[in-house]
Structure 1
Amino acid sequence: MKKIFKFSLFALFLGFASCDDAIDIVQANELDEEGAYQSVEDLQTGLNGVYASYVPDAGSNGTGDLILFNELFTDGIKRGMDSSGQGNQEYSFTLQPGTQFANTLWSNRYALINYANRLLRAWDRIFPTLESEADIERANQIKAQTLALRGMAHFELLQYFTPEYQNPNSPSVIIMDFVPEITDTFPRNTAGEVFEFINNDLEEAANLIGDFYLRETVTNYEAYYINERVIKAFQARVALCQGNYALAGTYVDAVGADDYYTLSTPPNEVVNPTDPGTYQRMYTEDLTTNENIWTLARKDGDNGVVALFYANGAGIDGSPFFELSYDLFEFYDLDGDGNTDLTDVRLRVLLEGTSEVDNGILLIGKYQGGAFGQNINDIKIVRWAEMLLIRAEVQARAGQLTDAANTLRDLRQSRIVITSPPVNPTIISFDTTNEALRYILDERRRELAFEGHRYIDLKRLGAELGIGIDRDTRDCASFSAPCGLPAGDFRFTLPIPRNEINANPGIEQNPGY
């Protein structure tokens, strides 16, 4: 199936709007849910819309979703050369129930959940009428992907709005497995209840998905769809957050069984100086490599992720209002000599080509446009590198420190540009589990920068290790903002948005707000 989703919310919700005035007139041309969903093809159109509603890359001019928030609130960004004050509030660690980022995350994920629940309601009506084996199989695959997306949305809400992940009684978020009435209000469920719900959704999805879009040979399209191994990757994330480390390792093994995924390659400047390597092309050209597990397709007319950092396109002439922080730039030190290494291909991708390093102009380059324009990039949601980082953590927590070091060494080695003479990375070895976990936290920062992980990593792993936010003084001075936030601070959990509290007055606010 050589088809890339051209997602359209309009296609999904064409008929969901109704006239609800004083006499509730039903318009003659109104298309209700039953009319909109009549076949498996209609269910597929609905699924496309559920995919389209997931927008961690959304935002512009200082506002946004997960990709921007994770770097802005922590230590990945400094004020850009053309800043007009964007992001000052969040950079200063000011979070309130009216904070835009909290409201965006809450409203977007619950919108996705609502769309998924509408689709599942239609599925329940249509599935018993199906007769052909092909239609039944396809309908099950549609339900599996919808359940996985619903479970993932609940998981992201849990991560950002739950104070204590591993306390099953900690207040979490609202479980929604049905389409509510507009006047309904609900209390928060506990973390234990939400984890159980997420795990059930993902388990059912795994049982239904079959071999949907699993390749025997490499394709350019597989990574845009949720398949069995994508679901296992979601389950690995959930198990890690829940503290079920052995299970997380089992899921990672299932994702990577039979060497299904491999790491992308760095440039080999000895053999071919003009080839940037598949890792760099994965970002600059949206190349689908064997490292991509799940990627959000972005095409003409879709959200432009470049607008998170620039007013007018990537580059020094694009009016950058955010730049790469000094702290993150100098964090790429492969050989431990105290100097930043551009032989780390990850930094080559992060640093936009027109940057003026000597003048302190560190432009963000991970998203600078691709085949569909200067502002549009596919969004890498899950990569094999992340699974290896989970594996290393599982090994470290099991006391397998040599295995953890070897896993991290293999990942690090795959990111070194091949030069003559070669760069020799720091030898990795650990004497204690905590030493290994600190290294893993650092390597997650390098590997997953600007992909929506840093805030959550500091909340989960940083709190355990006593590591909070500690910015370079040059970075915080650029915003005239505080440089640090201690580990475990209440602001590592977002406030329940004011919009939700106003509409649902019985809901419990998080501590500190």
Structure 2
Amino acid sequence: MKKYILILIMGVFLGACESYLDEVPSKSTNLPLETIEQLDALLGNYYYFFTDKSRNAALCTDDYEISEYLYNGFSGNSYRSMEIFQVATWDVKDTPFDGKETFWGTEYTKIFYANMVLYYLDGVSGTEEQKAELKAEANLIKAYSYWLLASNFCLPYNDATKNELGVSLKKSVSFDESAARSTLEETYAEIENCLEEALKLENSIVKDGTFRPWRGNTSAAKAFAARYYLSVNNYTKALQYANAALADYSELFDYNSEMSFYKTTTTVNNQQVEINYPSTYLSDDNEQLSYKEFYYARFSYHPYAWYVPSQTLMGLYDKDADLRYRYNFVENYSYVRDRTGISYPGYIAMGSYNIPSGPTTSEMLLIKAEAIARTGNWQDAMNVLEQLRVKRIDAGMYTELVANNQEEAVKLIIRERRLERPFVFTWYDYRRYNNNEVSYDDVNLSREFYPYNGSTVLSGEPLVTYELKKGDRKWARPIPNTEVESSLGEIKQNTY
């Protein structure tokens, strides 16, 4: 961690702040930060903040297909990379050493930038109102990143786990600040402290006539608060903040009128194969960051550019009526990644790498529906759910979902969450389902796949069963060993 911070200090302001600074900050020089515009430019560089590189969200659930059939059918690294199989089968032996886990480091980079703003805020020129907004925005960044880190590298939070290891809480830009991990209870207390400050944001999501969800804003803070409180099963507060966010902004993307196909072809074994992408596949950075459902523009990023949908996931959709299946599951997409393999779909949202992961209006409706259903008023919850479904189901085939009791309503709502945003919500949802007040939504995961060692899949041997059960310590994914070593032993690895 200390080595990591030294590297950050050397390059932290290259980019958006380049026009403001005459020298690069270093340990031994005074940082030439004198105006509020310099700090605003740092938080305004969305390239620092907008990607969420969680391998666990992409690979660790039954949204992602791992199978003998696919392994034997493909040859390219988009599917047959060792780290994919290791992460997807919840390995804890080799994964810390694979050198491919960047999520811990990138989220701490965001926290570092936020701390830079907080550290220099009092000493720069600018109005008190401007400073208050940047302080709140920096705390939103920290709350969001700490929550992501805890939700990937720590056990799910409850009374039984509160004294387990949390994350490293970085509150300054000092080289001497300890990188030791806090307790899980301290981690969640810090998330709530940062969130409390973030909720003081007063900037609207629309500023000077421009829709700006890539910047901190009052609606983004409320929306993240709704997500956070749902994650700890506090349905009252989740509902409170979902309602507050929706009261600010409630635009929904309508698949019936705003989605179309982008048709193209690729050559496979000297034959032309048609591939129909959703029109959102072609969206550029500006269009993606301005996606009208966003409260806060963040994207899940999978470096292999192939979200491989499982048979289980695809089987949940009404393939005729659900427009999310029609447009987002791209037939023959495997040929783009491996031109000599077999035909298999890919899940596509915005480009090959990105799926919206930041809080959206559709997520707020799902949180609102689930919070209402879990607190007893399940009939009203179903009405809220239909406000979303009417924008996602073919208008000519639309029928309302029917629940006969609270349990049926909750199950329909949580299924809808998975249909709405696979490879994003599912990992985080499974963690909370296994730690809430009911057992009917518990999740135990298993896969059958070949055995492997640290470098090779042993495809000539019989299949074995890999499991991730409720209560398993592997719900806390391993921290990269490079981080453990660079912290000089202060960061403790998870125990299994």
Could you say whether these structures have the same fold, taking a TM-score greater than 0.5 normalized by the shorter chain as the test?
yes
Matched-pair contact (CA < 8 Å) for 1:102–1:494:
no
Match of residue 44 from structure 1: 40
Distance in 2 between residues matched to 1:379 and 1:429, nearest whole Å: 29
Q: Are residues 481 and 459 of structure 1, via their aligned partners in 2, closer, same or farther at CA, if it must alter by over 3 Å?
A: farther
Amino acid in the other structure paired with 1:94? D
Q: Does 1:449 align with 2:390?
A: no
Q: Are residues 159 and 274 of structure 1, via their aligned partners in 2, closer, same or farther at CA, if it must alter by over 3 Å?
A: closer
Per the normalisation by structure 2, the TM-score is: 0.76
State which of 151, 156, 164 in structure 2 corresponds to 1:159.
151
* Other structure's SS at 1:236 match: helix
Match of residue 391 from structure 1: 368
Distance in 1 between residues matched to 2:449 and 2:312, nearest whole Å: 9
State which of 144, 166, 169 in structure 1 corresponds to 2:136.
144
State which of 485, 489, 496 in structure 2 corresponds to 1:505.
489
Match of residue 76 from structure 1: 63
Match of residue 295 from structure 2: 293
Amino acid in the other structure paired with 1:390? I
Match of residue 325 from structure 1: 310
Distance in 1 between residues matched to 2:480 and 2:228, nearest whole Å: 24
Q: Are residues 125 and 273 of structure 1, via their aligned partners in 2, closer, same or farther at CA, if it must alter by over 3 Å?
A: closer
Distance in 2 between residues matched to 1:273 and 1:108, nearest whole Å: 34
Q: Give runs of aligned pairs for residues 101-500 of structure 1, distance below 5 A.
A: 103-126=101-124, 129-130=125-126, 135-167=127-159, 168-181=162-175, 184-207=177-200, 209-214=201-206, 219=210, 221-257=211-247, 260-267=249-256, 284-285=282-283, 286=287, 288=290, 290-296=292-298, 307-309=303-305, 323-333=308-318, 341-352=319-330, 354-355=332-333, 360-368=343-351, 379-419=356-396, 422-424=397-399, 427-433=401-407, 435-450=408-423, 452-462=424-434, 464=436, 465-470=441-446, 482=465, 484-500=467-483
Distance in 2 between residues matched to 1:8 and 1:344, nearest whole Å: 45
1:381 deviates by 1.4
Amino acid in the other structure paired with 2:309? L
Amino acid in the other structure paired with 1:72? L
Amino acid in the other structure paired with 2:293? E
1:460 deviates by 1.4
Matched-pair contact (CA < 8 Å) for 2:170–2:179:
no
Q: Does 1:10 align with 2:8?
A: no
Amino acid in the other structure paired with 1:52? Y
What do residues 246-289 of structure 1 show as CA deviations (whole Å, max 9, x unaligned)? Answer: 0111111110116x2132212259xx99999xxx6556534645
Q: Are residues 443 and 43 of structure 1, via their aligned partners in 2, closer, same or farther at CA, if it must alter by over 3 Å?
A: same
Q: Are residues 356 and 442 of structure 1, via their aligned partners in 2, closer, same or farther at CA, if it must alter by over 3 Å?
A: same
Distance in 1 between residues matched to 2:261 and 2:346, nearest whole Å: 22
1:239 deviates by 1.5
Structure with higher strand content: 2
Distance in 2 between residues matched to 1:296 and 1:225, nearest whole Å: 10
* Other structure's SS at 1:173 match: strand
1:447 deviates by 0.7
* Other structure's SS at 1:38 match: coil
Distance in 1 between residues matched to 2:169 and 2:301, nearest whole Å: 30
What do residues 302-356 of structure 1 show as CA deviations (whole Å, max 9, x unaligned)? Answer: xx9575325xxxxxxxxxxx632222222212xxxxxxx1431211332225459
In structure 2, list runs of 5 or more residues that go unmatched.
Answer: 1-11, 264-277, 336-341, 451-456
Amino acid in the other structure paired with 2:371? V
Distance in 1 between residues matched to 2:112 and 2:391, nearest whole Å: 41
Match of residue 86 from structure 2: 89
Per the normalisation by structure 1, the TM-score is: 0.73
1:440 deviates by 3.0
In structure 1, list runs of 5 or more residues that go unmatched.
Answer: 1-6, 21-25, 27-31, 58-64, 298-303, 311-321, 334-340, 370-374
Matched-pair contact (CA < 8 Å) for 2:179–2:490:
yes
Amino acid in the other structure paired with 2:37? E
Distance in 2 between residues matched to 1:456 and 1:509, nearest whole Å: 21
Amino acid in the other structure paired with 2:443? I
Matched-pair contact (CA < 8 Å) for 1:353–1:365:
no
Matched-pair contact (CA < 8 Å) for 1:92–1:481:
no
Matched-pair contact (CA < 8 Å) for 1:150–1:201:
yes
Q: Are residues 291 and 283 of structure 1, via their aligned partners in 2, closer, same or farther at CA, if it must alter by over 3 Å?
A: farther
What do residues 99-131 of structure 1 show as CA deviations (whole Å, max 9, x unaligned)? Answer: 5589422211112111211121111211xx44x
Q: State the percentage of identical aligned residues.
A: 25
Distance in 2 between residues matched to 1:122 and 1:48, nearest whole Å: 16
Q: 4+ residue stretches of structure 1 with deviation over 6 A?
A: 272-276
Q: Are residues 356 and 224 of structure 1, via their aligned partners in 2, closer, same or farther at CA, if it must alter by over 3 Å?
A: closer
Match of residue 48 from structure 2: 53
1:70 deviates by 1.4
1:383 deviates by 1.1
Matched-pair contact (CA < 8 Å) for 1:283–1:349:
no
1:198 deviates by 1.8
Matched-pair contact (CA < 8 Å) for 2:256–2:391:
no
Aligned length: 433
Distance in 2 between residues matched to 1:365 and 1:343, nearest whole Å: 18
Q: Are residues 102 and 455 of structure 1, via their aligned partners in 2, closer, same or farther at CA, if it must alter by over 3 Å?
A: farther
What do residues 181-220 of structure 1 show as CA deviations (whole Å, max 9, x unaligned)? Answer: 1x5434322233222222222222322x223444697x5x
Distance in 2 between residues matched to 1:481 and 1:472, nearest whole Å: 6
